[in-house]
Amino acid sequence: MVPMWMFPVAIACGNTFVLKPSERDPSPSLKLAQLLEEAGLPKGVFNVVQGDKEAVDALLSTPTSRPSASSARRPSPSTSIREGTRHGKRVQALGGAKNHMVVMPDADLDQAADALIGAGYGSAGERCMAISVAVVVGAVADELVAKLTKRIRALNVDDGTAPRADMGPLDHGGASRQGARLHRGRLARRRQARRGRSRAQGRRAAKADSSWGPRCSITCSPTCGSIARKSSARCCRSLRVPDFASAVELVNAHEYGNGVACYTSDGGVAREFARRIKAGMVGINVPIPVPLAFHSFGGWKRSMFGDHHIYGEEGVRFYTRYKSVMQRWPSAEGKGPEFTMPTHD
């Protein structure tokens, strides 16, 4: 998906495009190149280079490639932008994400619960815009958690190709059912391990703050990262805060600033949230605030490195270089040398 946000803009602006996919999933990029060739794209316009860090370093250092766009986390985005700019390149580098949804007491809780389920577990949570933390304001947390729990228990975790599967691994061929059983076994073991960690974390949180803090862990996914630090989004956690200011402070304190959502029925709260929150993409009653193509995609802080976000107007600026041309057609009789600053006369 991410390369397809990039190469159409690059090619439309007159560039060729080199895609270095992750070495863990090389095949989709080759299929994409095949489809583009069948559609009539000239050879050499869209190129695929396979490899690991060595291939990335070569692309960052070669003098023949000018702009450099990256969404990989290996090497880290900061390394990509440092190495790219050292070699005189313009760099876009997308980093990690830890997306929050703030749920206000006046929100429609059924809508908020549905949005959290879809945004947390859609695509099995394997997308940078997934909501992994619900920040619930005030006394509505118990009611929201009850609604989430009911919806989570109704999720069908199975082989991802099964007709009624809501989420699960893709396991083609005759081993699909066996793969699903193995997946459920791994899931059960990880849940058990997390319960032990959650009890220890809960004891530490209780000592640190007796009134507010982590109260509920809602998990329906293979792995789960730390609430506060890791960018992994394959789970949904619920945190309680006493008021709107605390919710904004919690979100803004995080090192990532990719996407964030706020569910409320108050226009004043929505306006203040959008103004004060430190994230690149903000949704008001929209759980996954991915901009349409005429805007641009990208976060703040460690979620995005570089001067330009991807696709939209920012993407066009990234794949082009600005040029100003001043022309003058004076008469045959010149005025002689001019030693002052140029004017429009």
Please count the CA atoms within 13 angstroms of the CA of 263 that sit on its side-chain side: 26
End-to-end CA distance of the chain: 52
Beta-bridge partner residues of 239: 135, 214
- Look at residue 225 in the predicted model and tell me its pLDDT: 37
DSSP assignment of 131-177 = EEEEEEEGGGHHHHHHHHHHHHHT--BS-TTSTT-SB-----STTHH
Distance CA 55, CA 57 (A): 5
Distance CA 103, CA 158 (A): 30
Q: 247 CB contacts (<8 Å, ≥6 apart)? A: 102, 135, 137, 241
Cis amide bond preceding 105, omega within 30: no
Which regions in the chain score pLDDT beneath 70?
Answer: 64-78, 124, 160, 169-191, 194-236, 332-334, 345
Domains, the chain, ranges and CATH?
2-95+303-318 (3.40.605.10), 99-284 (3.40.309.10)
| Active-site annotation, residues | 128
- Look at residue 183 in the predicted model and tell me its pLDDT: 52
Dihedral Cα 223, 229, 233, 238, nearest 10 deg: 90
Distance CA 239, CA 136 (A): 6
DSSP code at position 297: B
For residue range 184-221, list pLDDT tens digits in order.
Answer: 566 666 667 766 665 554 444 333 332 322 233 344 33
Contact (CB, 8 A) for 284 and 270: yes
Tokens 């982590």 belong to which residue? 214
- Look at residue 140 in the predicted model and tell me its pLDDT: 92
* Surface-to-core class of residue 86, CB atoms within 10 Å of its CB (0-12 exposed, 13-18 middle, 19+ buried): exposed
The CA-atom distances, in angstroms, between 155 and each of 46, 130, 166, 219 are 40, 17, 6, 11
For residue range 124-168, list pLDDT tens digits in order.
Answer: 677 788 888 999 999 999 999 999 888 888 887 777 677 777 777
- Look at residue 322 in the predicted model and tell me its pLDDT: 87
Helix (H) or strand (E) holding 236: strand 236-241
Contact (CB, 8 A) for 265 and 288: no
